[in-house]
């Protein structure tokens, strides 16, 4: 309830253009969520198209022209675009709003409640996708519809781009990017978010502005094999083992950018004494060896200090009484923005010191640059947040990787994830896991987030309001 009280207080002091969800609007958002959860938009069940069609119907009922709604098929799924036409008065390119309609598979046998029926219990909403990312989709949908009904005309076009296979192949994402080239920037509902520290304390909000590149290599040693009663010096399994030990011991060079330095400065506020000193030292003297000694011992910090690669799977040999003819390890890397996948592969090949080892890159890694947060966007986000959390700091961060934002950034569209949800101590949303859940008051608390930001970034409300 803290957030609602804070919000009400802030509203009283805020200008008359503030925009708070009415009970009716909260009920409508809940209805959208019930429907969204009921569509099994997983890769296996394939109901993403049905969800897209349902949403398109809601937009049409609210007054969006059929010509401004498009279902975009790609691969096994579909994306959805919704254009909110502006009057063009700002002369600026459109702003994109991202979310994904698909969800990770959920087996009802593992869940307390049916994953595809929105269930409220003890102040929590349960269902597959309540946090990742059907809330984002519902939140943006109800925002566009509320703004439209209020008569708001933006000063530039606003375009929703919902993907339909973010959790799997991202083919719909690629198709959306292709259609929406030339947009000014994208705001993503699928990451970013706050930590609600409680009344009177400073809460922190994280804006995702960069993602590491996700790349996987298969590392293989081949051998002519033979009978296991006649072991030889050369052996595919031992050679692969030697190579993996070298990869384990190797550390990629330490790196930093504006985003990681700013997030370290904020992390220092809440870290233990030793870590706080090291973080501040690193911010002052990036790359500082002494600071690094402390920081790289911590898994979470080490992952944003450098490219990392780690062995994740192994397969080798074909019979218990035969010398192995092949041994393969899977090595998963999270690459610092600005470093190419080819350079990482070359570095690993150098490290293993064995020319006979083959490297194969799996899938098609997406290299994406960091996006530079503009003061305009940062201020709009902060002003919206302050209506809920008067004492808040916002900070950009770099994520280990994996949202639609990668593809938009790669196409030259700066992308910032600014989801509206706040977690509290004790929350366990369990993204991708069983019993995924979301607090009801977090759900309602985020319903004004996007409209406040849109009004600040895309012009003044219409005279009718």
Contacts of 245 (CB under 8 A, 6+ apart): none
Residues 9 and 161: their CA atoms lie apart, in Å, by 34
User: Could you say whether residue 43 binds Zn ion (CB under 5 A)?
Assistant: no
Taking alpha carbons only, the member of 165, 157, 52 closest to residue 102 is: 165
Angle ∠(164,166,170) on CA atoms, nearest 5 = 90
163 binds Zn ion (CB under 5 A): no
**Per CB under 5 A, does 275 bind Zn ion?**
no
Distance in Å, CB of 193 to Zn ion, minimum: 12
Least gap, CB of 190 to Zn ion (angstroms): 4
Q: Where are the beta strands (DSSP E) in 268-325?
A: 308-316, 322-323
Q: Which two tokens stand for residue 294?
A: 């402390």
Beta bridge pairs of residue 82 = 69, 160
Nearer to Zn ion, 98 or 266 (CB): 98
Stretch in the footprint of Zn ion (CB under 5 A) among 117-125, 186-194, 244-252, 289-297:
186-194
DSSP per-residue string spanning 187-236 = EESSS-EEEE--TTSPEEEEEEEEEPEEEEEEEEEE---EETTS--S--H
**Binding span for Zn ion by CB under 5 A among 4-12, 118-126, 188-196, 436-444:** 188-196
Q: What residue has token string 């003890």?
A: 122
Residue 272's nearest CA partner among 301, 233, 232, 305 is 301
Nearest distance from residue 176's CB to Zn ion, in Å? 15
**Cβ–Cβ < 8 Å for 244, 354:** no
**Distance in angstroms (rounded) separating the CA atoms of residues 337 and 370:** 6
Cβ-based nearer residue to Zn ion, 133 or 220: 133
Closer residue to Zn ion, CB minimum distance, 21 or 137 = 137
Say how many residues touch Zn ion, by CB under 5 A: 3
With respect to Zn ion, which residue has the nearer C-beta, 286 or 402? 402
Binding piece for Zn ion, criterion CB under 5 A, among 48-56, 152-160, 189-197, 313-321: 189-197
Residues 190-219: x where in contact with Zn ion by CB under 5 A, - otherwise, as a string: x-----------------------------
Contacts of 35 (CB under 8 A, 6+ apart): 54
Among 28-36, 78-86, 184-192, 220-228, which window interacts with Zn ion (CB under 5 A)?
184-192
Angle among Cα 62, 64, 70 to the nearest 5 degrees reads: 125
Of residues 132 and 448, the one with the C-beta less far from Zn ion:
132
* Contact (Cβ atoms closer than 8 angstroms) between residue 152 and residue 17: no
Helix, strand, coil percent values for the chain (each to nearest 5): 35, 20, 40
Cα 396 versus chain centre, distance: 13
Comparison of 213 and 403: residue with beta carbon closer to Zn ion: 403
Beta bridge partners of residue 125, listed in sequence order: 120, 438
| Spatial CB neighbours of 50, under 8 Å, sequence gap ≥ 6 | 39, 41
**Closest distance between Zn ion and the C-beta of residue 166, in Å?**
6
Q: Which is nearer to Zn ion, 132 or 367 (CB)?
A: 132
By CB under 5 A, residue 399 contacts Zn ion: no
Nearest distance, CB of residue 431 and Zn ion, angstroms: 7
Q: Which two tokens stand for residue 52?
A: 């897209």
In this complex, which beta carbon is closest to Zn ion, that of residue 19 or of residue 116?
116
Of residues 188 and 260, the one with the C-beta less far from Zn ion: 188
Binding pattern to Zn ion, positions 114-133, x when CB under 5 A?
------------------xx
Site string for Zn ion, 130-149 (x = CB under 5 A): --xx----------------
Half-sphere exposure of 381 (CA within 13 A, CB side): 28
Instruction: Please state the closest distance from residue 100 (CB atom) to Zn ion, in A.
Output: 6
Cα 201 from Cα 40, distance rounded (Å): 40
Six token digits for residue 145: 């519809």
The smaller minimum CB distance to Zn ion, of residues 130 and 395, is found at 130
Nearer CB in complex with Zn ion: 190/196: 190
Q: Which residues, 6+ apart, have CB-to-CB distance to 361 below 8 Å? A: 215, 216, 217, 341, 345
Position 157 contacts Zn ion (CB under 5 A): no
User: Taking every pair of C-alpha atoms in the chain, what is the biggest distance, in angstroms?
Assistant: 88
The smaller minimum CB distance to Zn ion, of residues 33 and 291, is found at: 33
Q: Which residues bind Zn ion (CB under 5 A)?
A: 132-133, 190
């Amino acid at each position: 309830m803290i957030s609602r009280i804070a919000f009400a207080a802030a509203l009283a002091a805020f200008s008359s253009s503030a925009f708070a969800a009415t009970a009716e609007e909260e009920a409508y958002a809940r209805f959208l969520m019930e429907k969204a959860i009921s569509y099994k938009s997983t890769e296996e069940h394939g109901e993403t198209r049905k969800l897209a069609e349902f949403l398109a119907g809601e937009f049409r009922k609210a007054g969006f022209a059929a010509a401004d709604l498009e279902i975009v098929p790609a691969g096994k799924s579909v994306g959805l675009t919704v254009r909110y036409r502006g009057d063009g008065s700002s002369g600026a390119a459109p702003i994109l709003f991202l979310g994904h309609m698909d969800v990770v598979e959920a087996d009802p046998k593992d869940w307390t409640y049916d994953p595809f029926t929105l269930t409220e219990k003890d102040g929590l909403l349960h269902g597959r996708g309540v946090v990742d990312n059907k809330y984002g989709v519902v939140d943006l949908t109800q925002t566009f519809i509320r703004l439209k009904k209020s008569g708001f005309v933006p000063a530039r076009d606003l375009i929703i781009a919902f993907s339909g296979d973010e959790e799997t192949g991202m083919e719909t994402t690629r198709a959306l990017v292709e259609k929406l080239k030339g947009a000014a920037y994208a705001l993503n509902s699928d990451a970013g978010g706050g930590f609600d520290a409680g009344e009177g304390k400073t809460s922190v909000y994280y804006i995702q502005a960069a993602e590491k590149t996700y790349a996987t290599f298969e590392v293989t040693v081949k051998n002519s094999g033979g009978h296991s009663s006649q072991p030889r010096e050369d052996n595919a399994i031992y050679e692969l083992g030697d190579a993996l030990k070298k990869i384990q011991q190797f550390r990629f060079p330490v790196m930093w950018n504006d985003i990681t330095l700013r997030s370290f400065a904020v992390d220092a506020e809440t870290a233990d004494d030793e870590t706080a000193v090291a973080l501040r030292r690193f911010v002052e003297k990036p790359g500082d060896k002494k600071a690094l000694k402390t920081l790289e011992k911590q898994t979470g910090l080490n992952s944003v200090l450098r490219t990392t690669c780690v062995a994740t799977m192994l397969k080798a040999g074909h019979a218990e009484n035969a010398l192995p003819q092949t041994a393969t390890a899977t090595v998963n890397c999270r690459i610092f923005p600005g470093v190419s996948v080819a350079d990482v592969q070359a570095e690993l090949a150098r490290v293993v010191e064995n020319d006979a080892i083959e490297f194969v890159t799996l899938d098609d890694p997406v290299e994406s640059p960091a996006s530079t947060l503009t003061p305009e966007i940062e201020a709009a986000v902060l002003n919206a947040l302050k209506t809920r959390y008067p004492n808040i700091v916002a900070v950009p961060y770099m994520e280990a990787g994996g949202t639609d934002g990668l593809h938009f950034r790669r196409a030259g569209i700066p992308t910032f994830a600014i989801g509206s949800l706040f977690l509290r101590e004790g929350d366990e949303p369990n993204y991708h896991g069983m019993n995924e859940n979301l607090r009801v008051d977090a759900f309602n608390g985020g319903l004004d987030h996007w409209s406040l930001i849109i009004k600040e970034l895309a012009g003044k409300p219409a005279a009718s309001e």
